[in-house]
Structure 1
Amino acid sequence: MHERQQVRHRYAGHWAAWPPVTGAAVMATGILSVGLSLTGFEVVSVVALCLATALWVLLAFGFSAVILEDRRRWESIADTPPALTAVAATTVLGVRFELLGLTPVAVSLLVIAVLVWPVMLIAVLRHMTRRAPGAVFLICVATQGLAVLCAVLAPEVGDWLARVALCLFLLGLVLYVDALARFDVRQVLTGAGDQWIAGGALAISALTGSKLLASGVWSGGAATTLRVATLVLVALDLAWYAVLLCGEVARPRLGYDVRRWATVFPLGMTAVASLSVSAATGVGWLEGVGRVLLWIAVAAWLPVAYGFARSLVGRAQDRSSPAAGDGRPLRVRRRR
């Protein structure tokens, strides 16, 4: 029994060395899987889904280990915006599984996200600060992630779920305004990668609007209002995309940082939102934009995944060192 507790403690310490924003790796890989499926690259899409699911499972086990074995660590991260990547990642996977027709899996992931979301969101909102980094927009992303999954599942579950999705969609927009008021705009030039969530939050909001339109629950003036709102959101997202890209060109930040997953996710989400909004509104040129942006996102995923893999190798080497057995959290080797 004592040896088993030691193993759990070592695993908790091993996982705790990764910041919560690591969940953005699942979000990024999962949304690329969605985009690749929408553009007909099903085999590559399924491979990406398998990678995202495997990482989600590992992080979920680690998440549980920290709660059980290191409550102090849990309390120190549960009230920070990056913790909401757990909710967002779960909903992204749910959307992809629903596209595969695996509704029971998608519903199960929705239930998990619904149980975790209010607890984390309330904790994060209670500890919000001014001049926040881009991760602050995760309060919107997590909420819109729930809305998207509800809207996608509505045809299978019932129209009532579409109405729940609409409420979450509106709440997500309110939370976006709150996050924008707190965002330190200097992050456009100095951020380590998560500044891109400022645009990604609008992208997932536009995706939600497109899925609500596609649900067929609304008609007449309500449908027209929803269509206009969706198009405005995707336009604002593309504007953010241009601003953030200019920031990267003006101040290149080429070294690997785990927060770069929070760059890949908005790139992929903007592509998927463009594709979905095009299908829902009939604006044809958005499909071409979405296809181009998807391959930009894939190109960005490759070096970030390489840096992540190198970090994993470094952690494995640290675990094999004598210090790995003393129960202390392991250091993450940073490569600049």
Structure 2
Amino acid sequence: MDRQVNPWWAELPPAAGAAVMATAIISVGLHLTGHETLSRVWLVLAVALWLLLAGDFLVRLLSDRDRWSGEADTPPALTAVAATTVLGTRLSALGWETTAAALLALAAALWPVLLIAVVRHWQRRMPGVAFLVCVATQGLGVLAATLSLADGTGWLGWAALVAFVLGLVLYGEALVRFDFRQVRDGAGDQWIGGGALAISALTASKLSLSPLWTGTAHTALRTAALVLLGLNLTACAVLLGAEVYRPRPRYDIRRWSTVFPIGMTAAAALFTSAATGIGALHTLGEVVLWIAVAAWLLVLAGFGRSRAELPFKTG
């Protein structure tokens, strides 16, 4: 009996936004460590994935509104915001400030619509995707701070500070709703809890580099970056220990939500090193970055195997 199979990308949105996030942040890390050619390879892949998912997003919005509405109020929908901001941050490093600003505007327009829909449907004992409310918000902060540093726009620096503080509040809200059994049983997205701390540390580091903040404010931001990075590393150690204790080797699309926090941890360590002058953090960031690259390749291989195993229509 023949079986109809949807196109290979049909299952991806919205959870696959984490694949864009993971790919783009690895590109950022490779750029920061001087591996520019590799960084641009990962950047091209991130842009291609972003365009694919953006196109599918628009198709569903225009032709399958019921499905779009059903997905828009789930936490994975916020990967659309986070992926856009991480990609914009990498493009800004190329000097493409206009494009990065356009992506910030797009992400900022999507953010309240999706955030409100997600928060209205929050429940108790949620999986790790609950932390995407923090990741998406801090993503806005990172990109706004990046653009502020690039052209000296003061209001973007203040906007980044507001996003940073709000992101921390949302992290606390997600934490009280997180089902801690997911640390033991989660299929991959439990790592977002650590990734949210990493991107928060990155935002604080970016803010501390701005001339807008001096004296006590500057010291507070540097301290916040170090504390958040420390909490991030602690969370990652706990999550890694749980993975060793109870291995979950089977591919799941939520494994892209494991790769992203690893890559974000590397980027946070690298940026925090630049902000604080602690050289050991740069070394740590380089080590974690290559772990993220290896994890990205492993998840990609798992995705490829899962696609190859699907039945296909022969007639």
Give the structure-1-normalised TM-score: 0.89
Residue 76 of structure 2 aligns to which amino acid in structure 1? P
Match of 2:239 among 244, 247, 260: 244
What displacement does 1:68 show?
1.0
Answer with 156-165 or 235-244: which moved more.
Answer: 156-165
Answer with 91-100 or 224-233: which moved more.
Answer: 224-233
List aligned pairs for 1:137-152, cutoff 5 A.
137-152=131-146
Residue 169 of structure 1 is matched in structure 2 by 164
Q: 1: distance between equivalents of 2:155 and 2:136? A: 20
Q: 2: distance between equivalents of 1:246 and 1:191? A: 13
Residue 167 of structure 2 aligns to which amino acid in structure 1? G
Match of 2:27 among 11, 33, 38: 33
Residue 179 of structure 1 aligns to which amino acid in structure 2? A
Residue 250 of structure 2 aligns to which amino acid in structure 1? G
**Structure 2 runs not aligned, ≥5 long:** none
Residue 92 of structure 2 is matched in structure 1 by 98
Q: 2: distance between equivalents of 1:290 and 1:264? A: 14
What displacement does 1:311 show?
3.8
Residue 275 of structure 1 is matched in structure 2 by 270
What displacement does 1:282 show?
1.2
User: Relative to structure 1, is the Cα distance of residues 101 and 153 closer, same or farther in structure 2, using a 3 angstrom cutoff?
Assistant: same
Residue 223 of structure 2 is matched in structure 1 by 228
Structure 1 residue 113 corresponds to structure 2 residue 107: yes
Contact 1:12–1:69 (CA<8 Å) still a contact in 2? no
Residue 135 of structure 1 aligns to which amino acid in structure 2? V
* Secondary structure of 2:163 counterpart: helix
Partner deviation per Cα, 1:169-201 (whole Å, 9 max, x = no partner): 000000000000000011111000000000000
Structure 1 residue 198 corresponds to structure 2 residue 183: no
Match of 1:126 among 100, 120, 125: 120
Match of 2:288 among 290, 293, 296: 293
Q: 1: distance between equivalents of 2:235 and 2:69? A: 33
User: Relative to structure 1, is the Cα distance of residues 281 and 71 closer, same or farther in structure 2, using a 3 angstrom cutoff?
Assistant: same
Residue 327 of structure 1 is matched in structure 2 by none
Q: 2: distance between equivalents of 1:23 and 1:310? A: 20
Q: 1: distance between equivalents of 2:20 and 2:134? A: 17
What displacement does 1:18 show?
2.6
User: Relative to structure 1, is the Cα distance of residues 12 and 90 closer, same or farther in structure 2, using a 3 angstrom cutoff?
Assistant: farther
Residue 59 of structure 1 aligns to which amino acid in structure 2? L
What displacement does 1:19 show?
4.4
Structure 1 residue 260 corresponds to structure 2 residue 255: yes
**Structure 1 runs not aligned, ≥5 long:** 1-9, 323-336
Q: 1: distance between equivalents of 2:305 and 2:86? A: 25
What displacement does 1:310 show?
3.4
Q: 2: distance between equivalents of 1:11 and 1:166? A: 46
* Secondary structure of 2:16 counterpart: helix
Contact 1:33–1:48 (CA<8 Å) still a contact in 2? yes
Give the structure-2-normalised TM-score: 0.95
Partner deviation per Cα, 1:98-146 (whole Å, 9 max, x = no partner): 0111111101111110111110000000000000000000000000000
Partner deviation per Cα, 1:286-306 (whole Å, 9 max, x = no partner): 111111111111111111011
Q: 1: distance between equivalents of 2:211 and 2:185? A: 43
* Secondary structure of 1:21 counterpart: coil
List aligned pairs for 1:32-111, cutoff 5 A.
32-111=26-105
Residue 303 of structure 2 is matched in structure 1 by 308
What displacement does 1:15 show?
4.8
C-alpha RMSD of the superposition: 1.7
- % identical aligned pairs: 60
Residue 159 of structure 1 is matched in structure 2 by 154
Residue 334 of structure 1 is matched in structure 2 by none
What displacement does 1:309 show?
2.8
Residue 332 of structure 1 is matched in structure 2 by none
User: Relative to structure 1, is the Cα distance of residues 115 and 55 closer, same or farther in structure 2, using a 3 angstrom cutoff?
Assistant: same
Contact 1:12–1:66 (CA<8 Å) still a contact in 2? no
What displacement does 1:308 show?
2.0
